[in-house]
Amino acid sequence: MPRAGSLERGRVLLLLSLRRKARAVASMTLLGVMSFAAAGRIFAFTTVAARHGMVVSGEPLASKAGLEILKAGGNAVDAAVAVGFALAVTHPFAGNLGGGGFMLIRLANGRSTFIDYREEAPGAATPTMYLDARGNIVPGLSTVGALSVGVPGTVAGFALAERKYGRLGLKRVMQPAIRLAQKGFPVSYWLSQSLKSHAPLLSKFSESRRIYLRDGDFYRPGEIFRQPELAKTLRRIAEQGPKAFYRGPIARDIVATMEKYHGIITRKDLAKYRAIERKPLRGKFRGYDILTAPSPSSGGVVLIEMLNILAPLDLGPPNSYRSIHLIAEAMRRAYADRAAYLGDADFVSVPIAGLTSPAYAAKLRREILRSPPDAPIKAGNPLPFEGPNTTHISVVDSAGNAVSNTYTLNNGYGSGVTAARAGFLLNDEMDDFTSKPGAPNMYGLIQSQANAIAPGKRPLSAMTPTMATRHGKLRLVLGSPGGATIINTVLEVLLNVLVYKMDIRQAVTAPRFHDQWMPDKLYMERWGFSGDTISRLKAAGYRIVFRAAMGQCEAIEVDPKTGWRFGAADPRSNGKAEGY
């Protein structure tokens, strides 16, 4: 039995890790995994084990901030909020004050809730605002600059979570973020390269160019990155709460930036924004209860639809032709339904009960088993079954409270626009609406009129914060960034643990594939799939596109017998698990 406190389990050299993984996943090849390592860096794959609390996020300093709050007596919500604000400082690629997201909370007594702090369309938004006079989409209008910005929700969401479910209060949990912004932190190699590679976007806007690019004198690894304007903004929020952001001086700064760059968010838009508490979406899979995201996320609906299709099937060995074929066909059908039916359920009628019905899944399953893989498909008809990219945080505290939080700016560094004098980037979430029915967004996702732009409406999202329990005991906490790949990343990690009995490190590390119906392609990571499997998939009609890496997953596994927490940060990212 491991000693109490934080310890690392399974730290091994890369080659030994690959050999162990090859025994667990028969189809994985050493050559394939070595190509994955060569694509980025050499990883010592690590699971962190802890008896009390666990925090996993996409950035090491933010994970440490969460651990600091847990050790100070905070609960899982306190820690998640601390990590979220810290990521806004140390991970500007996706961590944010100027974006939005979803927080799934499960308390130790079994009660659960979901906080929707997704961005909203401004009051002056219109369905055709990104089209030219001929009805064609204007390139870049919904993805770059102030017109692409939705009303931010992050500050309202974190404040609501902290007020209702936290223990320490906003002022205390924001201290790590304020410290990191004021005193600065060493720039990692990852951050230095990320900022440099996004210079074409950030250099378009004076504040972004000054803060993140140092007017062309790019930050080098090891240099200290200080953000005094952001520190001032964070202190205002800590002292005054969300009113400082939505009604006070920060709102003034946002609106001034909108006016400078021809955006349409007003003081009224900010003042009327509210985070919304909703009921989590629930599903079942092979004896497990699944808690996940409701509308306006598409993630939970699509995830449960796929799990329902796959539940009774013999999937075969992991990463074999049979398993990839069956899972990919479930993905195709669920994403086709996403394109046809899903939008903000506060504005449009969404057939959630039908889409998540086991009877509807059975119909789709029969179709999969009877049809050749290259048969064209379209959205199904769930109505008769109705009845009456982003960063992720996973936290479990010593009492068993858990948080799965995914939030985003949408594209990396969002719109590229930094709020003048306030020091934080603004999102480009308006691209997640349907700019034109049938036309793909930046992630290639086709969407319908149900997701059309309307004032106050929240755009459809793929964010899928999720938990799995069994017999009332917490088993898994997970989620992912990655745009269109988010839902399928969560699906594959769930299947790896619940079906293939991998430990959390193996489940998060295993190679991934992704099919979103349109474009009609099967995306596969370059490593880990046997040549024979790839040949069979091609012969069956799949159009395969290889990618260096897809999705990231920050996950926690809880041993139901001992209560030990095991955290794994995805090796595809720069994240870290911290526990005690």
Residues tagged active-site: 390
Question: Which single residue is written with the structure tokens 């700019």?
Answer: 435
3-state secondary structure 323-364: HHHHHHHHHHHHHHHHHHHCCCCCCCCCCHHHHCCHHHHHHH
Instruction: Give the integer Cα–Cα distance in Å for 291 and 288.
Output: 10
Q: Cα-atom radius of gyration of the chain, to the nearest Å? A: 22
* 32 membership: H or E segment, kind and range: helix 30-39
Question: Which single residue is written with the structure tokens 């390269």?
Answer: 193
CB contact burial 308-331 (16+ within 10 A = b; e otherwise): bbbbebebeebbbbebbbbbbbbb
Question: Which single residue is written with the structure tokens 């930094």?
Answer: 418
Compute how many other C-beta atoms are within 10 angstroms of the C-beta atom of residue 9: 17
Beta bridge partners of 137: 131
Instruction: Give the integer Cα–Cα distance in Å for 59 and 185.
Output: 12
User: Residue 7 corresponds to which tokens in the numbers above?
Assistant: 């310890």
Question: Which single residue is written with the structure tokens 């960034």?
Answer: 481
State how far the alpha carbon of 55 is from the alpha carbons of 68, 90, 93, in Å. Answer: 10, 16, 20
Among residues 132, 152, 130, the alpha carbon closest in space to that of 141 is found at 130
Phi, psi of 363 (to 5 degrees): -60, -45
- Cβ–Cβ < 8 Å for 157, 85: no
Query: CA angle at residue 230 from 224 to 236, to 5 degrees?
Result: 140
Among residues 9, 105, 21, 16, the alpha carbon closest in space to that of 496 is found at 21
Question: Which single residue is written with the structure tokens 């005054």?
Answer: 240
DSSP H helices, 454-503, are 486-498
- Cβ–Cβ < 8 Å for 67, 60: no
Cis omega (within 30 of 0) for bond into 351: no
Contacts from 192-197 at CB under 8 Å and sequence distance 24+? Answer: 192/218, 192/219, 192/220, 192/221, 194/93, 194/412, 195/219
Cα 178 to chain centroid distance, Å, stands at: 24
- Cβ–Cβ < 8 Å for 173, 162: yes
Instruction: Give the integer Cα–Cα distance in Å for 181 and 89.
Output: 6
User: To 10 degrees, what angle do helices 76-90 and 175-183 make?
Assistant: 20
CB burial of residue 372 (10 Å; 0-12, 13-18, 19+) = exposed
Instruction: Give the integer Cα–Cα distance in Å for 269 and 152.
Output: 10
